[in-house]
Structure 1
Amino acid sequence: MQFKFFAAPWLGNPVVRQTIRLLVSVGLCGFVAWLTNLQEPGWALITSVIVTQSSITETLSSGRYQLVGTLIGAAASILPITLLLYHWPLWRAFAVAFVPLAVLASWKPGTRMSVVTLMIATLFATPNDPYLLPIERVLSILMGVGVSMLVTYVVLHEQARRDAFRNAAATVRQSVAMLTHARSHAMSWSDIQDLNDAGIASLRKVQTAVEEARREHWRPLEKRDPMLAALPKALRQLQTDALVVTRAVLLAENPPPDGQDNATAPLNPGLMRAFDWIIERCEGEAVARTGEEYRVAAGVITALPEDTAQDDEIMRFVMGVLRTDLKTLIQLLAQDDTRQA
């Protein structure tokens, strides 16, 4: 059962959600550091701030870089610490490990934390037990990364699905805009391409959100949310169809008069109803995961124009492809998969 607090509309603000994640991460990390009596809890807190990102994908990436870099730096610091015990000059012993790590960090920027760990373990070594500081550093990083991962997975992480469907609606709107301007011949092909680029940008956001959703749960996305899993492919095909139809309309010698209601027009009432239904359905799924009566979708599909209504052979072909992919997307969005959540 969900608490009303966690269903509050203001939690949809990404800044608010990330602020709550960050506060919880730092607070929980501080509590664990106090509970385990960690000697230097500050590094664990700093790590939790750095690693806790707005998405699971970014958190995993940041945590991996922090952990790998720290392990490399801690391992490399053993050499200069040992040399110091044999009375080597500090900066000479430090340079022996620092130079190769600097080369590594320049080649692989994700390992830059190794240089920081080396500096801390070598330049601020504990007199009584110099090998203790690298171990403490690794434990602090492990604690910060672990807590950040836990918080990112548990606290307010159900945003990816909403982002995917919200951007899906934006992608379809760009397709409708292309077809609308093509019908009236009000824009040049270069301007149409700008609209298409905006649609591609929205589609990329859909794909990114779907990849994020894959990491939100241990169950495969295809089993727990088949609609979301298949959404990017269906959208990508529909956007391609819209661009092809737009180009065909712009190249047509005798474009239909503005306002004419026939099946040749790119946005006749049947097609417009289909696009509106898709946008409304995506926006609905962006708010809450709900089922949809299939008979409503069936009515939308039935209203789509027949391919035989096209006089021009090229238009008949491209509109037929558009109609087929529209039907596929409508059938996808008409699935009631709420029980699989």
Structure 2
Amino acid sequence: MMTFSKRIFGRFWARKTQLALAVRIAAAAVAAYAIAVALHLLLPLWAVLTSLIVTQMSVGRSLKATRDYMLGTIGGAIYGGAIAVLIPHSGEGSLLALLVLAVTPLAFIASLNPSLNSATVTAVIVLLLPTMHHGNPLDSAIDRVMEVSVGAVTGLVVSFLVLPSRAVNQIRANAARLLELLAAAFAELLAGLTRGLDNDALHRIQDGIGVAVTGLNATGAEAERERSAHLSSGPDTGPLLRTIQRLRHDVVMVGRASVVPLPANVQARLARPLSEVSNAIVSYMQSVAVSLRSGAGSAEIQPVDAALQAYATEVAALRSDGLIRGLPVDAAERFFALGFSLEQMRQNLNDLSRCHADWCEAAATKPADAKS
């Protein structure tokens, strides 16, 4: 029973960020409803729904969601209320024409700027709600803005106060996960130099890396939003994100060089150096991942430099022995592309070492923020 309980607890704890979000959303919904009822708002439902929309995974994302939703709501309320007041309408026909006039330009604007999607919804509510409650468009617009404001402010305050999650800490976890994916892909791709890889295998090996990169870049934008609002501190996220992006490109280039296996005589000479390169780079990226995730620990780059230097020495010996001159053109191109990719990877891994040092220093000097 104890083992089962520990296993269940471990699974939940591994999703503690998602659990914290669920708690924040529930707290925001309850608080928004209570405040809306206390203020006697016409439709507390909109306050609750807005609080759910603006309560996001991180404080930075909540800030953006609140800003976008409020701008869209205010703009839609002003436009919908203005045309309802200024353009006389009576009967279903004129109301339908007015609805087209309200929806068409706002939908066009939302297609150009998706962050203003709420403007179209708000304009429709401002137009149609008075016909249901026998009110006037001006009161409908004011009610809508009030309801959304209560929900937005409540959701934002809850994001700050209830189990707050900083995007800068999510970057650590997301970057660590991406480095682990890159390390696993790199190991498989180098192994492919002895057996070759088809396109399906390449896609399988790199499956999920593109999605992880997109998610990391989005989290980086949220972290910078928090930094600009002085809500969190730490190193600039740009260098780490750009370095990981370049490492991803290196892995892609290694994959292209691995489509066709190396000739047997070249394989025999490079098997050991390439194995040492694979072990060194994979171990280094995994060590950086563990350190980033925990906010502590070290990762030594020297074994990577030593392994790549040994590989370069063996390549020079191969060329001196004339083994490369006898290769077919396509095999020679892939051979030199592999060497270029590994050299680029050396530079990018050294950049990663500097980024890792900055993030470890930040974790050591800001322990309270790192744990929030």
TM normalised by structure 2 equals 0.71
2:21 is matched with which residue: 18, 23, 36?
18
Gaps of 5+ in 2: 1-10, 112-116, 320-335
**Partners of 2:229 and 2:21 in 1: how far apart?**
25
2: CA distance, partners of 1:223 / 1:135 = 38
Offset at 1:320? 2.7
1:193-243 Cα shifts (integer Å, max 9, x gaps): 4434543333222222222322334468997124x4322211222232233
- 1:99 Cα shift? 1.8
1:144 CA drift (Å): 1.0
Structure 1 distance, partners of 2:151, 2:206, is 43
Report the counterpart of residue 235 of structure 1 in structure 2.
244
- Structure 2 counterpart of 1:164: 175
Q: Within 5 Å, give how 1:166-315 maps onto structure 2.
A: 166-180=177-191, 182-196=192-206, 198-218=208-228, 224-226=234-236, 228-249=237-258, 250=260, 252-254=262-264, 255-257=266-268, 260-261=271-272, 263=273, 265=274, 268-286=275-293, 288-290=294-296, 292-293=297-298, 297-301=300-304, 303-306=306-309, 307-311=312-316, 312=318, 314=336
The RMSD of aligned alpha carbons is 3.6
Which residue type is aligned with residue 229 of structure 1? G
Aligned to 2:132: 124
User: How far apart, CA to CA, are the structure 2 residues paired with 1:52 and 1:178?
Assistant: 41
C-alpha displacement of 1:38:
3.5
**Residue 78 of structure 1, CA deviation:** 4.5
Letter of the 2:130 partner, please give it: T
Distance change >3 Å, CA 238–CA 11, structure 1 → 2? closer
Work out the number of aligned pairs and report it: 321
| Worse-matched range after superposition: 49-58 or 268-277 | 49-58
Deviations 1:124-154 (A, max 9, x none): 3555x76333212211111112222333344
> Which of the residues 35, 43, 47 maps onto 1:44?
47
State TM-score, norm by structure 1: 0.77
In structure 2, the partner of 1:151 is 158
Name the residue aligned to 1:98.
99
Q: State whether residues 214 and 221 of structure 1, in contact with CA within 8 Å, keep that contact through their aligned partners in structure 2.
A: no
User: Given the superposition, is the C-alpha separation of residues 13 and 91 from structure 1 closer, same or farther in structure 2, using an over 3 Å criterion?
Assistant: same
| Counterpart amino acid of residue 210 in structure 1 | G
From the superposition, tell whether residues 142 and 326 of structure 1 become closer, same or farther in structure 2 (CA, over 3 Å): same
The answer as to whether partners of 1:73 and 1:117 remain within 8 angstroms in 2 is no
Contact 1:175/1:242 (CA < 8 Å) preserved in 2? Answer: yes
Deviation string, structure 1 residues 260-291 (Cα, Å, up to 9, x no partner)? 42x2x2xx3254133212213213422x322x
Say if 1:205 and 1:71 are closer, same or farther in 2 by CA, change over 3 A: closer
Amino acid at match of 2:352: L
The 3 A distance-change label for structure 1 pair 259 and 213 is same
Deviation, 1:82, is 6.5
Give me the whole-angstrom Cα distance separating, in 1, the residues matched to 2:87 and 2:126.
14
Whole-angstrom CA distance in 1 between matches of 2:76 and 2:346: 58
One-letter identity of the residue aligned with 1:70: T
Equivalent pair of 1:167/1:203 in contact (CA under 8 Å)? yes
Q: Give yes or no for contact 1:77–1:122 (8 Å, CA) kept in 2.
A: no
The match for 1:327 among 341, 345, 350 is 350
How far, CA to CA, are the matches of 1:137 and 1:55 in structure 2?
A: 26
Separation (CA, whole Å) in 1 of partners of 2:207 and 2:83: 53
Q: Which has a greater percent of helix?
A: 2
Task: Label 1:246 to 1:66 Cα distance change in 2 as closer, same or farther (>3 A).
Answer: closer
Query: Contact 2:59–2:226 (CA<8 Å) still a contact in 1?
Result: yes
| Cα contact 1:238–1:322 (8 A) shared by 2 | yes
> SS of the residue aligned with 2:300?
helix
In the alignment, the residues of structure 1 paired with residue 262 and residue 14 of structure 2 have an alpha-carbon distance, to the nearest angstrom, of 49
3-state DSSP of counterpart to 2:165: coil
Change (3 A) 1:73 1:324: closer
Paired amino acid for 2:180: A
The change in CA–CA distance for 1:222 and 1:54 in structure 2 (over 3 A counts) is: closer
